[in-house]
Structures are given as C-alpha cells and as structure tokens.
Structure 1
Amino acid sequence: MIRHVVMFRFRDDADEAQRQAVHDAIATMPKATGVTEAYEFGPDLGLAEGNFDFTVVGDFADQEAYLTYRDHPEHQRIVFDIIRPAISDRAAIQFEIP
C-alpha cells in the first residue's frame, strides 16, 4: 500500500472562493481517477502556528495505482488550473504502509 500526503499553503491573496474551489476539486479526485483505496482531505484546524493550510492523504494499492492517480488527466487539470494558482507552497511525500 502506498500513502500519498500533500500539504498546501494558500497564497495570501487567495480568497474564500479559491480555497473552496480547491476543496471542491479535490473532493472529485477519487471518483475521477478510480484508483484510491482511501482518501481524506481538509483544512488545517489552526491548532499550531506554522502549519500548512490544507492537506490530502490518499492510499493506493500499489505504486502503479498511485502513478495512475498522479498522471490522470483530470488530476493534472485540477493541479494546474485550480490548485497551483491558489497556493504559495506545497510539500508532499509518498511512503509504503503495511
């Protein structure tokens, strides 16, 4: 099983509509790509200073499934058209889970 974790910081000038658009677009990813085993996402609760603003955690059966998700045309469209214009920083990692 492969776990994918990605975190975003929104741009200072990203308004609520842009933030909501990111949330709404990310919500469509599991159905659009059809390869997720588990998929959770949401905004930071603001419990600690310096946290990222939003995170996505996705589980995939194997490396091939993750790569299918990553390279899926709808995923790429959402990343380039909706997410990137709204964020200033991104961090991600993929690791194997039992």
Structure 2
Amino acid sequence: MIRHIAMLTLRADTADAAIDRLVSELRALPDLIDEIATYEVGVDLRLVAGNSTVAIVADFDDADAWTVYRNHPAHVRVLDEIIAPLLDTRTAIQFER
C-alpha cells in the first residue's frame, strides 16, 4: 500500500470560495479514478500561523496505481486549472504503509 500526502499552501489572497472549489474538485477525484483506495482532503483550521492551507491524504494499492492517479487527466486538470493559479508552495511525500 502506498500513502501519498500532499500539503498545499495557497497564496495569502486566495478567497474562501476558491478554497471551497478546490476542495470540491479534489473530493470528486475518487469517483473518477478507480485506482484511489482511500482519499481525504482537509482545510487547515488556522489554529497555528504558518500551516499549509489544504492537505490531501490518499492510499493506493501500489506504486503503479499512484502513477495512474498522478497522470490521470482528471487529476492533471485539477492541478493545472484549479491548483496552479492559487499555489504558493507544495510539499508531498509517498511512502509504503
């Protein structure tokens, strides 16, 4: 099992409506990409300054399934059209569970 964690820090001027749209688009991906075993998206509660804005935690059966997700047109569209215009920084990791 491969776990993928991505943490997105969005630009400071990102509107809440844009964050809501981003989260909605991300949460739709499991219905479009069969290789996703589990998928969670959360928005930071803003309890501590300096945290990332959005986190994604996803599980895949193996590295091949993660690669399908990474390259899937629905995922690439969200990356290019929704995330990229809002993104300040991104951190990610994939590890075996």
Q: TM-score range by the shorter chain?
A: over 0.9
The share of aligned pairs that are identical, in percent, is 38
Which consecutive residues of structure 2, in runs of 5 or more, have no partner in the other structure?
none
Deviation at residue 34 of structure 1 after TM alignment = 1.2
> What secondary structure is seen at the aligned counterpart in 1 of 2:38?
strand
What's the RMSD between the two structures over aligned residues? 0.9
What TM-score do you get using the length of structure 1 for normalisation? 0.93
Which consecutive residues of structure 1, in runs of 5 or more, have no partner in the other structure?
none
Aligned to 1:51: 51
Count matched residues: 97
Aligned to 1:79: 79
Aligned to 1:9: 9
> What secondary structure is seen at the aligned counterpart in 1 of 2:40?
strand
Deviation at residue 49 of structure 1 after TM alignment = 2.9
Aligned to 2:89: 89
| 1:49-96 CA-partner distances (Å, limit 9, x unpaired) | 321111000000000100000000110001000011112111000000
